[in-house]
Amino acid sequence: MTAVSISIGAAYAYCSYHVFDPTIYVITLIGSIALHAFVNITNDYFDTIYGVDRPEAPTTRYRPHPLISGIMTPSQAIITSTYLFAIALAVGIYLAIIDRWLSIPLGILGAAVALEYTAPPAKLKYRGLGEAAVLLMWGPLMVLGSYYT
């Protein structure tokens, strides 16, 4: 899903300006995938804490769930998600250094919306706003963000 959003933005930029930098594309993709993985692990962590994800829940049956299956402990999930966020932040800083400064606020906005998907105080998913958050993140934020970079 992330690769598609990033690729759509890159393709749109190419069609608009006939410029494509494969290095910037790959770096943007790496940062975005790290941010997506951060979101997924954080979401699994909070869903487990709130009792949404449990051994008999449908989401734990159709995919390996890192906490329910025992692949990770809750503290390992927090540590792993922190490292993934650090990778995404490092990519954003690099992009800002090479004059793509808007990558920082776009990335922070995306991370904030993504974290608030299940994390307090917003808990968007539990208030019926989860799909709107996903649409915002993987639609305009990622597509326009990659178009910009």
Domain boundaries, the chain: 2-148
Res 132: pLDDT: 92
Res 27: pLDDT: 96
| Alpha-carbon span 101 to 108, nearest angstrom | 12
Give the CATH class of 2-148.
mainly alpha
Res 110: pLDDT: 84
Tens of pLDDT along the chain (149 residues)? 999 999 999 999 999 999 999 999 999 999 999 999 998 999 999 999 999 899 988 878 888 899 999 999 999 999 999 999 999 999 999 999 998 888 888 888 888 888 899 998 999 999 999 899 999 989 999 999 999 99
Res 62: pLDDT: 83
Res 73: pLDDT: 96
